[in-house]
Amino acid sequence: MTHPVVRTGFAALAVTAAFGLAACGSESSDTNTPTATAGTSGAQVEIGNTINYGSVGTTAEVDCADGKALNVGGSNNKLTVRGTCANVNIGGTDNTISFERVDKEITVVGLNNTITYADGDPKIDDLGSNNKITKG
């Protein structure tokens, strides 16, 4: 069980990241109204067309819809990302993330992350250490 202070901290972190990266590289025009969700499956903040997800030790689904950007932080998460992401930025450690489609770029700055994407031809930037990024 995640302590409420930890959830609040991740929500604050996600909000901070969202303001710094709002709509960075997104192509979707789905929404311009900020939304925030914090619960047992992590904290998710959406501003413009950028989704910021942060958590520790959760299994969750995230929806990129049709061309949103996604920023992921935290550790030991298992995420399934539906839809088409334009750009993806992943920090943190020991995350396992599978994507339906990534169009433009996947940037990983964390450690020991396992990233798979089923479709798309994104540019891969692995700036971290011991990450596995594969199409499959």
Q: How far apart are CA 56 and CA 2, in angstroms?
A: 8
Q: pLDDT tens, 85-107?
A: 999 999 999 999 999 999 999 99
Q: How far apart are CA 72 and CA 64, in angstroms?
A: 12
Domains contained in the chain, number:
1
Q: pLDDT tens, 45-73?
A: 999 999 999 999 999 999 999 999 999 99
Q: How far apart are CA 56 and CA 78, in angstroms?
A: 10
Q: How many CB atoms lie within 10 A of CB 74?
A: 24
Q: How far apart are CA 57 and CA 5, in angstroms?
A: 15
Label the pairing between strands 35-39 and 78-90. unpaired
In the chain, where does DSSP find H-type helix? 4-21
Query: Bridge partners of 89?
Result: 71, 107
Least confident segment among 1-10, 56-65, 69-78 = 1-10
Q: How far apart are CA 104 and CA 102, in angstroms?
A: 6
Q: What integer is the mean pLDDT of 2-26? A: 42
**Among 73, 74, 38, 32, residue whose Cα is nearest residue 50:** 32
Do the Cβ atoms of 82 and 73 come closer than 8 Å? no
* Residue 73 lies in domain: 4-135
**Among 62, 64, 69, 98, residue whose Cα is nearest residue 84:** 64
